[in-house]
Amino acid sequence: MSSPLAERPRLRLFVNVVRHYLIAIAILAAPTFVCGCLKAATLPPQAVYTEIEPSGSAAKPPDCDIPVLRHEPLAQYRKVGLIEASGSVYDAESDVLPAIKRKACESGADAIVILTSKSQTTEGLVGYYIDAEAIIYGNNPNIPSGESISH
């Protein structure tokens, strides 16, 4: 049997080995924590509005409650603008959609029709992408209604 004095060097060795393993684990785990923080540092989703024709409506507040349609409506409408928005690779539709809605509200649109909504990785874009149309319900007031004239 060994004496308690003989056991102390073994205990010290064990403590040193455990300490070195814990340091190694901390060093290896640090990049995981850094990557987690990088997600929070990404830019917010960006949206671009391209006017097709004037909406004829006043701009609404950026946080207006605008309907989001997945298909063209059955009612008469006109397309007044195209809206493209993209977010980071960490974003989902729920993160990018508010940027689309803000642009549609600012244009005076009555609703938006989502054309494309997907996460993609291509040469030109990595992240979440939404393509939508801003619409106004009704006919174009600049086009007279009535009998059509043919030549």
Burial 75-99 (b: 16+ CB within 10 A, else e): eebbebbbbbbbbbeebebebbbeb
Tell me the per-residue pLDDT of 106-135, one tens digit each, with 9 for 90 and over.
999 999 999 999 988 777 667 899 999 999
Tell me the per-residue pLDDT of 69-86, one tens digit each, with 9 for 90 and over.
999 999 999 999 999 999
Give the Cβ contact number of residue 73 at 10 Å.
13
Question: What's the CATH number of domain 46-137, 3.90.1570, 3.60.21, 2.60.40, 3.30.110?
Answer: 3.30.110
Which residue matches tokens 């949206």?
47
Where are the chain's structural domains? 1-41, 46-137
Predicted model pTM: 0.64
